[in-house]
Amino acid sequence: EVQLVESGGGLVQPGGSLRLSCAASGFTFSTYWMNWVRQAPGKGLEWVANIEQDGSEKNYVDSVKGRFTISRDNAKNSLYLQMNSLRAEDTAVYYCTGGSGWDSDYWGQGTLVTVSS
């Protein structure tokens, strides 16, 4: 059974940092593109970033460039998102997703990040 389990969300003040993690199991993690997708409360989906199988290619939505860093550890079947200089508009549920291409075959249940003073 495929599982993606996110962790690391929580309440953080504006300007603060948070590191999200995603533990993968049930599929060959090292052969999949991985993504972070977020959803603000009551809003639609927004793709945040993705990373190639070996970590050599990374892409970001403009609104997080220079603030967020996506990374992976294939030996640990884990995906990460380092989030710095957080803003109120980054408040959302963050989903870890994986796909053989750039689409998202598999989704985690999400972790909530709240940026507020």
- Biggest CA-to-CA distance, the chain: 40
C-alpha to C-alpha distance for 79 and 99, rounded to whole angstroms? 13
Q: Which of 1, 41, 56, 62 binds another protein (CB under 8 A)?
A: 62
Pull the structure tokens for residue 106. 């598999």
Taking CB under 8 A as the rule, which mask of x and - marks residues 7-46 in contact with another protein? ----------------------------x--------xxx
Q: Which of 47, 67, 77, 91 binds another protein (CB under 8 A)?
A: 47
Pull the structure tokens for residue 97. 């997703």
User: What are the percentages of helix, strand and coil residues in the chain, rounded to 5?
Assistant: 10, 50, 40
- 111 contacts another protein (rule: CB under 8 A): no
Residues 66-105 that bind another protein (CB under 8 A): 95, 99, 101-105
C-alpha to C-alpha distance for 90 and 83, rounded to whole angstroms? 9
- Residues lying near another protein in the complex (CB under 8 A) are found at 35, 44-47, 50, 59-62, 95, 99, 101-105, 107-110
